[in-house]
Amino acid sequence: MSVSLRLVPPPLQLIDAPEPNWSHVARLSDDTGLLEHARNAIVRREHGYCVDDVARGLVVASREPQPTAQVVGLAERYLAFLNHATASDGRVRNRLSYDRRWLDEPSTGDWWGRAVWGLGTAAGRSTVPWIRKEAREAFAVAVQQRSPWPRAMAFAGLGAAEVLRVDSRAGDAAELLGDAATVIGLPGRDPQWVWPERELTYANPALPEVLIHAGDLLGDESLLADGLRMLGWLCRMQSHQGHLSTVPVGGWRPDAERHRFDQQPIEAAATADACATAAAVTGDDSWESPLVQAIAWFLGDNDTGTVMYDPLTGGGYDGLTPDGPNLNQGAESTLALVSTLQHARALAGRGATRPSGGLA
């Protein structure tokens, strides 16, 4: 089954998007967690698990407005994994081998931020009471920490925003969201490069999305305007010949040629998430245009005109190269696909429309 999206104002755009498909996510999951890599659609167990992907899995599962028993079971498994990864002081391990040995020590890298984001999303969105309760308790442990890294703080800020949207009195979430906005920084005055960093790298849309959430939830109109300005500029930077062309591996810098490959599905998904948040917070339907571009990126409206998923497995392809897709179907890319198709369903009027929390 597919859903049709009609975009107004012009140019009128009509695209057909499939329903979110959990088949490959389930194929990559076992009784421990979510395995990171696949060769084509076959799981590569030798690479084990990582909190980065398990947290993404919990975010996407928690965003299902009417989850099946299968999706609820996956969410419970992912929540247990994050609990196991989190130390009592809130720091988080990232990599677990297939034989269930942790390969690193707890710290506050990106995986800490993604763990906070997953826990906050489960606490704020899950339809299952015991998942919400357990996730909120785990969130309270993880938010004891702060990270010096802007993206780690951005991911954590997305989780904090989810908690605040259901509990405006959650002081720990409010403090974390404010701290995340401070670490991210504000846009510059140069209209050619408004980004607070001198390079666009990865998970870029998460940064303005956090400023948008913070401005909205903390009552700071100036911060909200800054986040919207950053996101609008990024969307213009990523628009190429009428379609989305995301910042690729290697990044973009001012006064340097912008290479186009390799593009990662997670970047398209993060763009969709941030634009959905901007539309929901502002009520401005013009944000649906870049959101639909992000959906269409997976459907073949991209720099090579290639569909970026396997309809037989439900898996998302791992990257867009000059020669087309990398046909491996790992966890990150598959979750990026499912996340973006959730937005397609919401636009078609079949799902929740509240701000999403960026998937990055």
The predicted-structure confidence for 81-90, as pLDDT tens digits, reads as follows: 999 999 999 9
Model confidence at 350: pLDDT above 60: no
pLDDT, position 260: 86
Closest CA to 119 of 160, 73, 175: 160
Model confidence at 145: pLDDT above 90: yes
Structure tokens at 133: 């309760």
Which whole number is the average pLDDT over 215-238? 98
Share the mean pLDDT of the chain: 93
pLDDT, position 12: 32
pLDDT, position 179: 98
CA–CA separation, 247 and 244 (whole Å): 10
Question: ∠ CA(267), CA(268), CA(274), 5° rounding?
Answer: 85
- Containing 38, the helix (H) or strand (E) segment is strand 38-39
pLDDT, tens digit (0-9, with 9 covering 90-100), for 149-162: 999 999 999 999 99
pLDDT, position 16: 84
Model confidence at 286: pLDDT above 60: yes
CA–CA separation, 192 and 212 (whole Å): 21
Contacts with 290 (C-beta within 8 Å, 6 or more apart), sequence order? 235, 238, 239, 244, 271, 275
- Label the pairing between strands 243-244 and 309-310: unpaired
Model confidence at 8: pLDDT above 60: no
Place of tokens 């904090």: 160
pLDDT, position 5: 42
pLDDT, position 15: 65
Model confidence at 354: pLDDT above 90: no
- Asked if omega into 104 is within 30° of 0 (cis), the reply is no
Query: pLDDT band for position 359 (50/70/90)?
Result: low
pLDDT, position 258: 84
Contacts with 330 (C-beta within 8 Å, 6 or more apart), sequence order? 28, 36, 37, 38, 318
User: Alpha carbon 104 to chain centroid distance?
Assistant: 24
pLDDT, position 129: 97
Which of the residue ranges 82-86, 199-203, 251-255 would you say has the lowest mean pLDDT? 251-255
Helix segments in 185-320, DSSP class H: 206-217, 221-237, 265-282, 288-299
Gyration radius of the chain over CA positions: 19
Question: ∠ CA(231), CA(276), CA(281), 5° rounding?
Answer: 80
pLDDT, position 169: 97
Model confidence at 360: pLDDT above 80: no
CB atoms within 10 A of CB 54: 32
CB atoms within 10 A of CB 1: 4
